[in-house]
């Protein structure tokens, strides 16, 4: 398999569990990709939830991209998408998925059903983080139905996403031991693709590289 084929295998696995239902709020885990906001706004317009919560301060990429919190940039995008200001709530302190979830829980503790929106390759990590940070909430994790590599963000490009996915798989393995995520057994072929990508030089987002 080529490096691109290994990366496609990771993408397909990490993005496999898209799901949504009617909810009390759509919570966006903000990032470098504003198209995620567009997708969340479409769900609001379609009536899946009455409230849009935009969660994020900075991350690995956006600390170099914008000079204001991700949530503020996403709010401007949501307003441009026609979402009324009174339907938008900001959480602008979080810097990772655990904080996205925990800080929104602190902000809106009475929510019972939540759709979390993220990038496709982050679906599994968000799903594994929710039970730790917000036990008892009915959580659905969704993302745009993008294909790899055709639809990746031009902000970080195909190679950037490959580095990112290697880091995602690394965290899925290591974070349960740190209390950040629930355990998840990765299939052998996914681990082989992960190792192949590390060997090919895509290890910039490994925890040991932080």
Average pLDDT, 10 consecutive residues per value, the chain (210 residues): 98 96 98 97 98 92 86 98 98 96 98 98 98 98 97 95 97 97 98 98 84
Measured torsion, CA atoms of residues 145, 149, 151, 188, in degrees rounded to the nearest 10: 20
| Residue 58, pLDDT score | 85
| Residue 210, pLDDT score | 46
Q: Where are the beta strands (DSSP E) in the chain?
A: 25-29, 52-55, 88-91, 113-117, 138-142
d(CA 26, CA 23): 7
Per the confidence metrics, is the pTM higher than 0.85?
A: yes
| Residue 105, pLDDT score | 98
| Residue 208, pLDDT score | 76
Query: Do residues 113 and 136 make contact, with C-beta atoms less than 8 angstroms apart?
Result: no
How many other β-carbons are positioned within 10 Å of the β-carbon of residue 66?
13
Instruction: Indicate the SS3 state at residue 116.
Output: strand
Q: Where are the beta strands (DSSP E) in 96-158?
A: 113-117, 138-142
Burial 11-21 (b: 16+ CB within 10 A, else e): bebbbeeeebe
Cα 175 from chain centroid (whole Å):
16
| Residue 56, pLDDT score | 94
| Residue 164, pLDDT score | 96
For the record, the structure tokens of 63 come out as 């600390």
Give 58's contacts (C-beta < 8 A, 6+ positions apart).
69, 70, 95
Query: Do residues 144 and 11 make contact, with C-beta atoms less than 8 angstroms apart?
Result: no
How many other β-carbons are positioned within 10 Å of the β-carbon of residue 104?
26
């Amino acid at each position: 398999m080529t490096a691109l084929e290994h990366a496609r295998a990771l993408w397909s696995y990490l993005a496999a569990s898209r799901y949504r239902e009617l909810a009390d709020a759509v919570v966006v885990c903000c990032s470098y990709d504003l198209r995620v906001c567009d997708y969340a706004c479409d769900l609001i317009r379609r009536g899946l939830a009455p409230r849009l919560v935009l969660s994020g301060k900075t991350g690995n990429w956006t600390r170099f991209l914008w000079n204001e919190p991700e949530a503020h940039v996403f709010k401007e995008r949501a307003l441009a998408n026609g979402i009324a200001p009174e339907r938008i709530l900001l959480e602008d302190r979080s810097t990772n998925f655990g904080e996205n979830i925990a800080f929104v829980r602190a902000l809106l503790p009475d929510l019972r059903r939540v759709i979390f929106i993220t990038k496709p390759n982050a679906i599994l990590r968000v799903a594994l983080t929710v039970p730790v940070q917000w036990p008892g909430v009915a959580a659905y994790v969704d993302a745009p139905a993008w294909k790899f590599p055709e639809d990746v963000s031009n902000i970080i490009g195909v190679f950037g996403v490959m580095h990112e996915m290697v880091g995602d798989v690394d965290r899925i393995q290591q974070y349960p031991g740190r209390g950040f995520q629930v355990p998840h057994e990765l299939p052998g072929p996914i681990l082989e693709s992960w190792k192949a990508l590390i060997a090919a030089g895509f290890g910039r987002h490994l925890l040991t590289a932080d």
